[in-house]
Amino acid sequence: MGSRNGLSTEKIKALDDYAKSSLFTDAEKVALEYADAITDTRRDVDDELFARMQRHYDDDTIAELTMIIAWENASSRFNRAFRIPSQGFWKP
């Protein structure tokens, strides 16, 4: 199947169940869980999750991931408020 920038179509399709998927490494799984925790306003990044992030990533990488996740969330909310449609960069 197709790949763009090293991300396979299979991985994109498996994102809904990344925690149980064998397609993702432990580092990828914790980063996705971290993104979920930042994105879901009912959750928080607790100490245990942050400690698991630190096992896989250094402080600079965690800061960069946090900034990218926050930016994507802000961008998504901005686009939704102004009814800006998806650009259709990925189609299953």
Q: Which DSSP state fits 32?
A: H
Decide if 36 contacts 44 (C-beta within 8 A).
no
Run of H or E including 25: none
The half-sphere exposure of 26 on its side-chain side, counting CA atoms within 13 A, is 7
pTM of the model: 0.83
Q: For 28-67, how does the pLDDT look when each residue is reduced to its tens digit (9 = 90+)?
A: 999 999 999 999 989 999 999 999 999 999 999 999 999 9
Whose CA is closest to 8, among 29, 18, 27, 23?
Answer: 23
Q: For 85, which DSSP code? A: P
- Chain position carrying tokens 């979920």: 36
